[in-house]
Amino acid sequence: LFRPTEDDPKEIEANEADDEENKYVPQTENQCSLTNWCHYPKSILKNCRTAHMDPEVPEGVEIEPEELLKQIEAKDPYEARLKAISKDNEIEEGIPAWSVRC
C-alpha cells in the first residue's frame, strides 16, 4: 500500500496501481502473519524527536553544519520506514515485541 520515496528513503508515498485490476487488496488470512505488518509513522530517535534538529556549530570549531549533522545521524540513525514489526527487538529473551491473534 505504501513504499519509500525514491528521493528520500525516510519518507513514504502511496503505492497506487495504475489500473483497478492490479490494485492490491489485503486479505484477512494474510493479516495473521507478523511479516505483513509494518511501522507507518517515523520512529522516535534518542533525542525524543522524529527528526534531528539543524545543529549549531560551536564557536571555535571549524566544521560544516552538514558534516556535523552527519556525525549526529551516525550516532543516532533513523530506523527504516515501513520496517516489519517482526524485526523489532524482543521485550525479554524469547518474548517478541508484537503478537497477532487470529
In a domain, 56, yes or no: yes
Instruction: Record the pTM.
Output: 0.67
- Each residue's pLDDT tens digit, 50-67: 999 999 888 888 899 999
Query: Do the domain assignments include residue 35?
Result: yes
Three-state secondary structure readout of the chain: CEEECCCCCCCEEECCCCCHHHCCCCCHHHHHCHHHCECCCCCCCCCCCCCCCCCCCCCCCCCCHHHHHHHHHHHCCCCCCCCEHHHCCCCECCECCCCCCC
Residue 98 forms part of a structural domain? no
Do the domain assignments include residue 11?
A: yes
Residue 12 lies in a domain: yes
- Per residue in 26-56, pLDDT (tens digit) is 888 888 888 889 999 999 999 999 999 999 8
Find the domain containing 42 and state its range.
Answer: 2-87
74 falls within a domain? yes
Count up the domains in the chain and report the number.
Answer: 1
In a domain, 99, yes or no: no
Residue 46 placed within a domain: yes
